[in-house]
Amino acid sequence: SQFTLYADTSSRRPGFSKAAKPDLAVPLYEKFMARCRERGFQVEHGEFGADMQVDSRNDGPVTILFDTEGNL
């Protein structure tokens, strides 16, 4: 829940102005968690939209490329 999944990355700083507003996003977020639980996944969550400090270490097969030149 600490990640915003919709961001405009066309500049050096991601923009989230096109992301869903809380009145739409919160029910979608809760529905997504419910569907994951229905399929047997253990789901943990925090407060939707909370300001959080996150430490992470990239230790996996996924890399997200931010192309600020629009060359993708």
pLDDT score at 61? 74
Candidate list 4, 48, 66, 68, residue with the active-site label: 4
**Is 4 an active-site residue?**
yes
pLDDT digits (tens, 9 = 90+) for 9-48: 777 777 777 778 888 888 888 898 999 999 999 988 877 7
The pLDDT of residue 70:
60
Q: Where do the domains of the chain lie?
A: 1-72
Three-state secondary structure of the chain: CCCCCCCECCCCCCECCCCCCHHHHHHHHHHHHHHHHHCCCCCCCCCCCCCCCCCCCCCCCCCCCCCCCCCC
Active site includes 2?
Answer: yes
| Confidence (pTM) | 0.53
Q: Return the pLDDT at 35.
A: 95
Q: Which of 2, 9, 48, 66 is an active site residue? A: 2
pLDDT above 80 (res 63): no
Q: Residue 43 and residue 40: Cα distance in Å, rounded? A: 9
Instruction: Residue count of the chain, please give it.
Output: 72
Residue with tokens 């961001």: 7
